[in-house]
């Protein structure tokens, strides 16, 4: 239970333990210092004859056949986002079978997964590796301690952890909108179509056992084959695996806030003046009001100037699909769908191309797509004077979001913008020291607020290029001081205990920060 | 050099050594007896930053950077078939760099690769794992012995050998008709378009180092991504990697021989009466005059009866593409293109779906496509009274063909037909004992000749079903005796030495047969 081992200061200036519950951790040593020299985890060899059937009578039947036992690790994908029914369904079945102390390894969780809290309290689940949005994050931050600290990883970091063998999956559950009786599956068709299914590709390849859960069993062969038969053990047909409407769980409207629109305009103008805005450029957009506005304004700029992007990534939204279909963006590399238009596009557009998170962002590969990005615009809950970015905890210290692709994109992209208003309500977003480091400052290039733009001093090239720009370039210290002035005082820090409730892994597997228990105030 | 170890009789009735050049071999124990319990080979972990370039100035530059040294194993794919320029180009470069004793591991070789013989004589190459069509086969059968016997594997067996770690590839060379500067590649576009590129998928995933050789460097990202950037180390641009016309190297015309047309008609009639000819059936077609005729006649039968196939596999030809485009076949699972129409189809038809040989036929997976086949029609150079099939050597004992998918399809398919004329010239095709066992008799169901059809006695279900059929069902012994009668005498066996020049692996890695040196006659 208790962490132990020496605590050291890592390259992001954070004190981190070197041993936690007997597991040795490498302190974060810099974003580009990992030089892996081992070999990948090796999945099991299996065989299968034409006489055997993979179809199971029920989820319980599949779990029994899989040999799942107490203490094992089960994995999930999050393509259904807040419309997912699989994770809750599986944990209910595990509870019914009397299984205990499972470690869950979802690629992300959402408010719909609040029942996990009950499964923790009952002992079905005792460890979490994966992001904890909403109620589960709040429980982990303030409730009874898990058997081991939760581990948060970026999308690329999760793929890496599977390939490197850091997390060995005993049983992967894959919700499949379209699946045949041999396990070939995709997310394109059916009542629960979710678009890409890439987040389960690594699970399917590396897990000891793989169970497909589908509400749409189609005739062999199901194509395209995002998941391949050769990796699948069992298949279960259920009534419904997800609600596609729940996929649209984040903000899908362009911001109307004048301050946020100004931020979006600043980013697009910065891109225009950057020297990299030319035919063939690339960018990563995301969801959230500011990011959607940047995508739209960037489209306006492309239309005006005739400059076209060769490709873009995102969570894909209608705004990216519009640019693709208008011919302003040549291709989309598509890791997840954020709205229904994105699902339609993946089905219809040959240049909307599904990729896995490893292809997207695994640092322990011979090259991932984030390395080819020219521009990326990301968000933050806090930014500090060292350009460190927090996306996991709020200023009250409570875990509320996953890392997503943030760390990966920040490290890979040519210019990484962090878009954030200087204040949220009365809270400054730029602080002296972030509560949690989610992405190290060395990977963050430009902070864009409505009251000014701060360039990371490491980016001497950008500072030089923008020294005569009409854009409001300012030192981050100035922005910080202005934020404090507007807030009226330096904001109070949350009251944190000694207990480490979660670890923030860097994408290379090193330890970037720890998240501590939040103590009751007052 | 010398083989050693005990010789034992395997389940195909062949004497095989248990140790060869220090390597231990499991004798073939039956087609469905392999129960692998280990783990796959684990590829290396690597990392790559956005600043590094994968582009090399020349092939020699790429080979140098790869660290290739004497005695290592290099691999190739055969999608260009007899139009391939890559294998010869690479061996010339290796010779120029003074490299010696390389083991080559092509997925197949063709007459165009005759220069390999010179590279063997000069010492650049001293071992071969892969099929040896034409002149190389003749050299291996009759010339100086290689440092180790050559190893022939089926397509699925080669994928298995890579995944299981039986063959560790130091350096994979992948000729890529369409490739970006990060290594994403496909075979669909460009002056050397070859269609699928699946035979190099396993090489790319498991080799320690991967070099893409392309004559068509396209802007990032090259899609679809049959080969993925995360597996690629280096990229070389050359003038030309292949001649697509050379892909059409086998017989691509329907036979005009009345005897062979009769065989094709027998097969189609057998299928019709089999009880499995119903909507949703599946089949594997191939090239060669009889197989093409079967495909065409099967199309006629489908048109007449209204029965449609859900899917088919092949080497894909115009004849399969026609059935797909007419809607008689729902989907093609596409491992290789045998003509230019097949290449066009893979580019244009969303239901023409590229698969890797592992997906196709790796017995050490959780299921491969051959297991889902209802019917397959294959060829033979010899068939014996135990239904063993030879496709590798001719009756003179000389290696002339690879195994291809033969073993895999025979083992997987519901009904496996071997189509062959009873005589080729004055030579009987049905013999007492095949020169070489390429596919064991237990996996072969029906022998179809122009003078009768022999059902394997193991298939009691088929014997029962066809006991009143008007088809000329006969015992294989009768066909054998008729062949001898027609030939005028039992044909002379080739004069073989003691030296083992090649091994025939079964798809599970066990030893099915050995090929011996052919001694000069007279």
Contact check, Cβ <8 Å, B358/A36:
no
Predicted local distance difference test score (pLDDT) of residue A211 = 98
Nearest-CA residue of chain B relative to A224? B353
Cα of B479 to nearest chain A Cα, Å? 31
Query: Residue A213: what are its φ and ψ, rounded to 5°?
Result: -120, 120
The whole-angstrom separation of Cα A367 and Cα B48 is: 5
Q: DSSP class of residue A119? A: H
What is the CATH topology of the domain spanning A258-494? Glutaconate Coenzyme A-transferase (3.40.1080)
Contacts of A40 in chain B (CB under 8 A): 42-45
Contacts of B210 in chain A (CB under 8 A): 366
Contact check, Cβ <8 Å, B368/A230:
yes
Contacts of A54 in chain B (CB under 8 A): 367
Of A35, A45, A330, the CB nearest to B364: A45
Contact check, Cβ <8 Å, A365/B223:
no
Mutate to test the interface with B, among A180, A221, A416, A509 (most CBs of B within 10 A): A221
Angle CA(B346)–CA(B350)–CA(B355) in degrees, nearest 5? Answer: 60
What is the CATH topology of the domain spanning B53-244? Glutaconate Coenzyme A-transferase (3.40.1080)
Contacts of A183 in chain B (CB under 8 A): 366-367
Contacts of B183 in chain A (CB under 8 A): 366-367
Of A35, A229, A355, the CB nearest to B47: A35
Q: Do domains B53-244 and B258-494 have the same CATH topology?
A: yes
Contact check, Cβ <8 Å, A210/B366:
yes
Q: DSSP class of residue B438? A: S
Nearest-CA residue of chain A relative to B160? A45
Of B219, B230, B280, the CB nearest to A359: B230
Q: How long, in residues, is chain A?
A: 522
Low-confidence ranges of chain B (pLDDT < 70): 1-4, 249-251, 522
Contact check, Cβ <8 Å, A34/B47:
yes
Q: What residues pair up with B105 in beta bridges, in sequence order?
A: B75
Contact check, Cβ <8 Å, A48/B219:
no
Helix extents (H) in A143-251: 155-164, 201-206
Contact check, Cβ <8 Å, B371/A310:
no
Contact check, Cβ <8 Å, B280/A38:
no
Of B44, B225, B366, the CB nearest to A48: B366
The whole-angstrom separation of Cα B322 and Cα B319 is: 5
Of A40, A50, A362, the CB nearest to B43: A40
pLDDT digit string, tens, across residues A377-425: 999 999 999 999 999 998 889 998 999 999 999 999 999 999 999 999 8
Contact check, Cβ <8 Å, B371/A49:
yes
Contact check, Cβ <8 Å, B230/A362:
yes
Of A164, A230, A233, the CB nearest to B362: A230
The whole-angstrom separation of Cα A149 and Cα A2 is: 10
Predicted local distance difference test score (pLDDT) of residue B1 = 41
What ipTM is given for this predicted complex?
A: 0.96
A299 in Cβ contact with A321 (< 8 Å): no
Contacts of A210 in chain B (CB under 8 A): 366
Of A44, A331, A358, the CB nearest to B39: A44
The whole-angstrom separation of Cα A136 and Cα A134 is: 6
Provide the residue ranges of all domains of chain A, joining segments of one domain with +: 53-244, 258-494
The whole-angstrom separation of Cα B320 and Cα B249 is: 17
Query: Residue B125: what are its φ and ψ, rounded to 5°?
Result: -115, 135
Angle CA(A177)–CA(A182)–CA(A187) in degrees, nearest 5? Answer: 20
Contact check, Cβ <8 Å, B229/A35:
no
Low-confidence ranges of chain A (pLDDT < 70): 1-4, 249-251, 522
The whole-angstrom separation of Cα B181 and Cα B219 is: 7
The whole-angstrom separation of Cα B58 and Cα B52 is: 17
Q: What residues pair up with B179 in beta bridges, in sequence order?
A: B185, B217
Contact check, Cβ <8 Å, B38/A45:
yes
- Across the A/B interface, how many CB contacts are shorter than 8 Å? 173
The whole-angstrom separation of Cα B464 and Cα B461 is: 5
Predicted local distance difference test score (pLDDT) of residue A145 = 85
Predicted local distance difference test score (pLDDT) of residue A250 = 64
Contacts of A231 in chain B (CB under 8 A): 365-366
- The DSSP H or E segment spanning A12 is none
Contacts of A333 in chain B (CB under 8 A): 221
Cis peptide before A221 (omega within 30 of 0): yes
Cα of A158 to nearest chain B Cα, Å? 15
Nearest-CA residue of chain B relative to A413? B50
Name residue, tokens 């979802």: A106
**Cβ of A52: how many Cβ atoms within 10 Å?**
10
Contact check, Cβ <8 Å, B36/A50:
no
């Amino acid at each position: 239970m208790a962490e132990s081992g020496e605590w050291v200061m890592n390259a992001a200036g954070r004190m981190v333990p070197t041993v936690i519950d007997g597991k040795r951790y490498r302190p974060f040593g810099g974003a580009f210092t990992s030089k892996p020299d081992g070999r990948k985890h090796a999945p099991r060899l299996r065989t299968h004859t034409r006489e055997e059937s993979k179809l199971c009578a029920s989820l319980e039947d599949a779990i029994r056949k899989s040999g799942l036992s107490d203490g094992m690790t089960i994995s999930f994908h999050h393509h259904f986002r807040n419309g997912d029914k699989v994770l809750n369904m599986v944990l209910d079945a595990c509870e019914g079978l009397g299984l205990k102390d499972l470690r869950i390894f979802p690629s992300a969780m959402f408010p719909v997964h609040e029942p996990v809290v009950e499964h923790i309290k009952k002992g079905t689940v005792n460890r979490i590796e994966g992001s904890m949005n909403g109620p589960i994050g709040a429980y982990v931050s303030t409730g009874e301690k898990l058997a081991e600290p939760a581990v948060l990883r970026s999308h690329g970091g999760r793929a890496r952890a599977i390939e490197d063998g850091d997390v060995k999956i005993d049983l992967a559950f894959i919700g499949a909108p379209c699946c045949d009786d041999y396990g070939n599956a995709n997310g394109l068709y059916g009542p629960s179509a979710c678009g890409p299914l890439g987040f389960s590709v690594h699970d399917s390849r590396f897990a000891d056992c793989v169970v497909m859960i589908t509400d749409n069993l189609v005739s062999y062969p199901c194509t395209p084959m995002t998941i391949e038969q050769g990796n699948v053990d069992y298949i279960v047909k259920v009534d419904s695996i997800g609600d596609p409407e729940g996929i649209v769980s984040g903000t899908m409207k362009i911001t109307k806030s004048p301050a946020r629109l100004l931020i979006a305009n600043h980013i697009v103008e910065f891109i225009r003046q950057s020297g990299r805005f030319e035919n063939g450029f690339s960018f990563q957009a995301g969801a959230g009001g500011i990011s959607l506005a940047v995508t739209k304004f960037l489209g306006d700029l492309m239309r005006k100037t005739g400059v076209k992007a060769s490709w873009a990534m995102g969570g894909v939204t209608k705004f990216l699909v519009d640019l693709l279909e208008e011919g302003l963006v040549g291709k989309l590399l598509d890791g997840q769908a954020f709205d229904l238009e994105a699902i339609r596009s993946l089905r219809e557009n040959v240049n909307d191309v599904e990729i896995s998170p490893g292809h997207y962002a695994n640092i322990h590969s011979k090259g991932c797509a984030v390395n080819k990005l020219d521009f990326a615009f990301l968000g933050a809950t806090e930014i500090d004077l060292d350009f460190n970015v927090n996306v996991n905890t709020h200023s009250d210290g409570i875990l509320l979001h996953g890392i997503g692709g943030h760390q990966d994109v920040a490290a890979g992209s040519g210019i990484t913008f962090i878009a954030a208003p200087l204040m949220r309500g009365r809270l400054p977003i730029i602080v002296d020291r972030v509560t949690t480091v989610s992405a190290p400052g060395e990977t963050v290039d430009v902070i864009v607020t409505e009251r000014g733009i701060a360039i990371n001093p490491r980016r001497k090239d950008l500072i030089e290029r923008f020294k005569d720009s009409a854009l409001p370039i300012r030192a981050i210290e100035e922005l910080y001081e202005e934020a404090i002035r507007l807030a009226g005082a330096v904001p109070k820090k949350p009251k944190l205990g000694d207990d480490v409730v979660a670890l923030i892994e860097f994408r290379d597997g090193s330890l970037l920060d720890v998240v501590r228990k939040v103590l009751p105030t007052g």
